[in-house]
Structure 1
Amino acid sequence: MTRAAAAGTILVVPGGRDATDVIHADLRGRILSGDIAPGAGLSQARIAKECLVSRGPVREAFRLLQREGLIEVEVNQRARVTDLSVEEVEHLYALRVSNETLALGLSVPRFGPAELDELDRLVGEVAAAQTRGFDVWEALHHRFHMTLVAHAGQRMLSSIVLWAEHTGRYRKVYVGRDDSGWTLGAREHAELARLCRERDARAAARLLARHLSRAGLALIASMDPTHEPALLRAAIRRALAAEGGTPP
C-alpha cells in the first residue's frame, strides 16, 4: 500500500484486480470535494509510481473520469481537472429540476413508514449540521435529497446521484461559506417531509422544483451575475407547469 498525491492516500494492493476501481474512486472523490483543485494537473506516470502499479489501471481510471467530465486527458498521458463552468452548473440544475421532480412524484406513493421516519430524522440532522461545517451539512443534505427520490428506479437514481454530486463540487467552492440560504432551506426540507407523509405528490414536486431552482439560480448568480440561465428557467417553467405551479 502506498501514499498517492499530497492531498490523500490511495490504498492499492500491488497486482490487485481492483486497482482501477480504487484509483478512480479516490481521484473522483478528491476532485468532487475540491481537494484536487479545478485546473490541477494529473500524471499517469506519477500516480502509477506512487501506487506501485502499471499505467494500465491508471489509464483506465483516467478514462472513467474523462467520461464523467471531471478531467480532460491530453495526448502525452497527462490530464487536468476540468474547470468550473457556469454553463455546466446551469445544465446540471436543469437536469436536476426536471428529473428530481418527476422522481419525487413517483416516490411519494411508494414511501414506507420507515422511509418517512428517515426523512423526518434527516430534516433534524440537516438543520443541526449547520453549525458543524459545510462538508458535514452537505453529506446529510445529499442523503435527504436522495431519499426523496428513492423509488425512481435504479437507472434514473444513478443519474440523479451523479448530477447532485457534481453540483456539490460547485456549491463547496461558491456557497460553502455562505449560510444565508440555510434557514429557508431547512424550512423547505421540513415542508417536503410533511408533504411526503401526507402523500401530496404534486405539492411536494412543486416545492422541490422551487427549492432546487432557488439553489441553482443563486449559484449561477454568484459565479457570473451577467449569465442569463435560459435553460434552467425553461426547466423550472416546465416542471412547475406539469405540477400546476407558477414559475418564480
Structure 2
Amino acid sequence: MTTSGSIHQVQENAVTGGLVVPGARDATDVIHADLRGRILSGDVPAGAGLSQARIAKDHRVSRGPVREAFRLLQREGLIEVEVNQRARVTDLSVDEVEHLYAMRVSNETLALGLSVPRFTAAGLDELDRLVDAVANAEARGFDAWEDQHHRFHMRLVAHVGERMLRSMTQWAEHTRRYRKIYVSREGSGWTLGAREHAELARLCRERNTAATSMLLARHLSRAGLALIASMDPAHEPALLRAAIRQALAAAERTTP
C-alpha cells in the first residue's frame, strides 16, 4: 500500500528530475522551463506539491530563482502558491478545458484565414512534411505524436503575428496535459483528426480560405468536445459551442 508520504516523495522526485544548474545566471529560466514542461506533459501531476527549498537544493541554487520561477508558473495558471514557500500544481478543470478550446477555435480559425494567402511555397511544403511527421510519430507514443501535432497546428497560423502566436501557443500547450490523461487515441476520433491534417494542408495549398477555416473549426471543436465528454459527460459546453457557431459563421461569410 502506498502512503501519502511516499506519494509526495514520488511527486517531488518527478519535479526535480535530477537537473543541476550550479550558480547559472539563467537559473530562473532553466528551472521555469523544466517545471513547466513537466507539468504540461503530465509528468508532474495535478495536485502535486512543490517545495522551494527542495527544488533549490536539487538545482544547487538559492531560493530566489525558484521563487521567481514559481511566480511565472503562477501567472500562467499552472501552480497555486501557498504562504509557506510551497506550491501545488493546479487541479484539472473541465471549465478550463472548455475555455481553452473556445479560445483556440475562435482565434486559430481567424489566424488561419489570415495565414492562408500568405503561405510561401516553402511554407506549404513544410505543412506537408509535418502531416507525414505527425502520422509517423504515432507509433512512438503520445509525447512524440503531440510534439509534431503541436508544430503542425502552430505552422497553420504562423503568419498571424508574434504576439497573437504566443497566446495561441500557450493555449495549445495547456491542453496537452488534459489530452494525455483523458484521451486514448487508439480506437477514437483522433484517427479522423489525422486524416483532417492532410486535408487542411491540401486546402491551404489551394488557397481555399473559407473551407480551410471551417475544417479547422470542426477539427478543434471535435477534439475539445470529445475531451470534455471524457472528463464530465454531464457538462454542457455552452461557451465552446458558441465559439464554434461564431467561427463557422465567420468562415462562411468569406466564401466567394
Q: Return the alpha-carbon distance in structure 2 between the equivalents of residues 176 and 126 of structure 1.
A: 16
Aligned residue in 2 for 1:50? 58
Q: Deviations over 1:137-189 (max 9, x none)?
A: 11111110010000010000000000000001100011145452232112111
Per the TM alignment, residue 6 of structure 1 is displaced from its structure 2 partner at its CA by 2.3
Letter in structure 1 aligned against 2:13: A
Aligned residue in 1 for 2:75? 67
CA contact (8 A) 1:106 1:151 kept: yes
Aligned residue in 2 for 1:9? 18
Give the share of equivalent positions with the same residue, in percent.
79
Letter in structure 1 aligned against 2:252: G
Q: Return the alpha-carbon distance in structure 1 between the equivalents of residues 223 and 189 of structure 2.
A: 8
| Partner residue of 1:140 out of 122, 143, 148 | 148
| Partner residue of 2:162 out of 154, 168, 192 | 154
5+ long unaligned stretches in structure 2: 1-10
Q: Deviations over 1:196-237 (max 9, x none)?
A: 000111110000000000000000000000000000000000
| CA 207–177 in structure 1, closer or farther in 2 if over 3 Å, else same | closer
Q: Deviations over 1:64-112 (max 9, x none)?
A: 0000000000011100000100000000000000000000001111111
* Stretch of structure 1 that moved more, 103-112 or 172-181: 172-181
| CA 11–176 in structure 1, closer or farther in 2 if over 3 Å, else same | farther
1:212 aligned onto 2:220:
yes
5+ long unaligned stretches in structure 1: none
| Partner residue of 1:195 out of 174, 197, 203 | 203
Aligned residue in 2 for 1:238? 246
Letter in structure 2 aligned against 1:132: R
CA contact (8 A) 1:100 1:160 kept: yes
- 1:57-206 counterparts in 2 under 5 A? 57-176=65-184, 178-206=186-214
CA contact (8 A) 1:209 1:240 kept: yes
Q: Deviations over 1:1-26 (max 9, x none)?
A: xxx95232323132x21010011000
Q: Secondary structure at the match of 2:252?
A: coil
- 1:18-57 counterparts in 2 under 5 A? 18-57=26-65
Q: Deviations over 1:21-70 (max 9, x none)?
A: 01100000000011111000000111111111111110000000000000
Q: Return the alpha-carbon distance in structure 1 between the equivalents of residues 91 and 178 of structure 2.
A: 10
Q: Return the alpha-carbon distance in structure 2 between the equivalents of residues 43 and 133 of structure 1.
A: 31
Per the TM alignment, residue 125 of structure 1 is displaced from its structure 2 partner at its CA by 1.8
Q: Return the alpha-carbon distance in structure 2 between the equivalents of residues 203 and 11 of structure 1.
A: 49
Letter in structure 2 aligned against 1:35: D
Letter in structure 2 aligned against 1:228: E
Aligned residues: 241
